[in-house]
Structure 1
Amino acid sequence: MAQRRAVWAVYAACRDGDDTVDELSGHAAQLGLDLWWARVQGAFSGRPGDHPIDLALAWAAREYPIPLSAFEELHEGLRMDLRGHEYHSMADLILYCRRVAGVVGFMIAPVSGYSGGERTLHAALMLGQAMQLTNILRDVGEDLTRGRVYLPSELLAEFHVSRADLERGVVTPEYRALMRHLSALAREWYAEGRQGIPCLHGSARLAVATAARAYEGILDDLARNDFDNFGRRAHVSGPRKLLMLPQAWWELRTAPAPLS
């Protein structure tokens, strides 16, 4: 119960920051993000505000060795969104995926408990990055309406896809090739991330394995839809979600020995 409460506190705090950037704009968004960061720092220093999320995060940070540095990276990632960061290279995109999602693994692993040391934390990082890249591939059309393009300009040029092509929302052979390339990269990250799941303690194993299976299922749906992510949002249907729990359980039963 205590672990579940702490995980809720971490995710609620992360979601609170993300919602601030998504739901506000301009100066209001900047002020909101500054306030969010001050609240996080207050929680970690033992001086939380009155908001239930602040109080829960303060308790979690007191009970578990959750690193404030992971929240610092998340803050930097949210600032990238706020500034309308331009993504030129894959390194830019990878940094963004690390900051807004990869580091969440660093927050959760100390709560669940884990073995395998740094190798497990690296696997958690890769799993978070895979999930964020999946989000980006799913939401290309939706992000365009907000003026956001996370696909690196160098990669767009390499695959002969222009910003104008994206704004037209036409799925060309070149665009499909780009989506296949990035989907394959996400799947590589999922494979690397799964290596750390057997090292997690208790119920966290099945929870994380099921979440990973659900997110990778979005890539499957995107491929089935011929990579049209402009007018239709890829998702995992109800029946397929029901199959993911036993599938995740079986993968854990047949997984190789934990990292050491």
Structure 2
Amino acid sequence: MAAYRYCEAVTALQARNFSYGIRLLPEPKRLAMSALYALARRVDDIGDGELSEQRKTEQLLATRALLDEVRAGAVTEEDTDPIKVALADAARRFPIPLDAFDELIDGVEMDLRGAEYQTFEDLKVYCRCVAGSIGRLSLGVYGCADPKRGAEYADTLGLALQLTNILRDLREDALNGRTYLPAEDLARFGCEQGFALPTPPVGADFTGLVAFQAQRAQGYFEEGLRLLPMLDRRSRACTAAMAGIYHRLLGRIAAEPESVLRGRVSLPGWEKAYVALSGLAGGRS
């Protein structure tokens, strides 16, 4: 189907970490996951784009309307939006919890409002919207031996990945006027001045702040990875690959905290491929 080919092209072009995992899936699941990614990418691009806040709000509303059409079974192959067509087909083949996309949109709307987070409990709500939602959507494609428990672990793993993203993008977000780390944590480590400079705030315990957040993310990785035994071999490999890439990234950040203030920390392509192959072989990296 041409719609799936379009979604696969979007995934191959834009999914820096995600694509390494979904390549390990059998074709029906790989195509469905590419449809999920393509719509999630569209939502993220709306939030991060250059449009006015009003236009972004309108486009997010249009995306909610798209989801309503998919839920109603009102999409045909003649529709001109390939992402909508692919998602509708995937939703007919797999029990995808489409309401999780509404949560993703909720999270992007938090960004549009310039939400800041006083406590970690506040931040968890945002993380579960923008990352836990993706875990639950993915589980609809993978299948799971214990769906209720699996959804909880998928949500927790998404939280670990998003905390890693927040640490990685600390300075980039600050330059865009966004602060995600809880205000209570910033105050505890003397980092209320923010991260607009390529060096830690004067007098701050920046290393302590990063170590604290990395340890927190590590705990969520350990809990969330309990999902793996509940999945079939290829879905387990896909999840292990994606989580493994972010877990290694977290290790790099924890080892050299100030690196996140100098630029985006990333893994080379060969290392991502190694982690993906390790996942296929049954390992955890």
1:94 pairs with 124, 130, 136, which one?
124
Distance in 2 (CA, whole Å) between partners of 1:17 and 1:126 is 21
Partner amino acid, structure 2, of 1:175: F
CA deviations over 1:30-73 (Å, ceiling 9, x no partner): 11211122112222222235200001111112222112321221
Q: Secondary structure of the equivalent of 1:236?
A: coil
TM-score (structure 1 length as normaliser): 0.90
1:231 pairs with 262, 265, 273, which one?
262
1:12 pairs with 17, 20, 38, which one?
38
| 1:42 alignment counterpart | 69
Q: CA deviation at 1:246?
A: 4.4
| 1:127 alignment counterpart | 157
Equivalenced residues, count: 252
Partner amino acid, structure 1, of 2:254: A
Tell me whether 1:28 sits opposite 2:58 in the alignment: no
Partner amino acid, structure 2, of 1:42: E
CA deviations over 1:216-251 (Å, ceiling 9, x no partner): 11112213333331222111123432431344345x
Structural mapping, 1:1-260, within 5 Å? 1-23=27-49, 24-48=51-75, 49-162=79-192, 164-171=193-200, 174-249=205-280, 252=282
Q: CA deviation at 1:153?
A: 0.8
Quote the sequence identity (%). Answer: 35
Contact 1:44 1:57 in 2 (8 A): no
Partner amino acid, structure 2, of 1:12: A
**Range with greater deviation from structure 2 (178-187 or 68-77):** 68-77
**Range with greater deviation from structure 2 (57-66 or 141-150):** 57-66
CA deviations over 1:58-115 (Å, ceiling 9, x no partner): 1112222112321221121111011111211101111111000112121111211110
Contact 2:238 2:280 in 1 (8 A): no
Change (3 A) 1:202 1:165: closer
Distance in 1 (CA, whole Å) between partners of 2:194 and 2:111 is 22
Distance in 2 (CA, whole Å) between partners of 1:113 and 1:178 is 37
Which ranges of structure 1 fall in alignment gaps of 5 or more residues?
A: 255-260
Deviating beyond 6 angstroms after TM superposition, the runs of 4 or more aligned structure 1 residues are none
| 1:258 alignment counterpart | none
| 2:9 alignment counterpart | none
Q: Secondary structure of the equivalent of 1:29?
A: helix
TM-score (structure 2 length as normaliser): 0.82
Q: CA deviation at 1:165?
A: 4.3
**Range with greater deviation from structure 2 (164-173 or 117-126):** 164-173
Which ranges of structure 2 fall in alignment gaps of 5 or more residues?
A: 1-26
Distance in 1 (CA, whole Å) between partners of 2:200 and 2:191 is 10
Distance in 1 (CA, whole Å) between partners of 2:179 and 2:263 is 17
Q: CA deviation at 1:6?
A: 1.2
Distance in 2 (CA, whole Å) between partners of 1:33 and 1:180 is 36
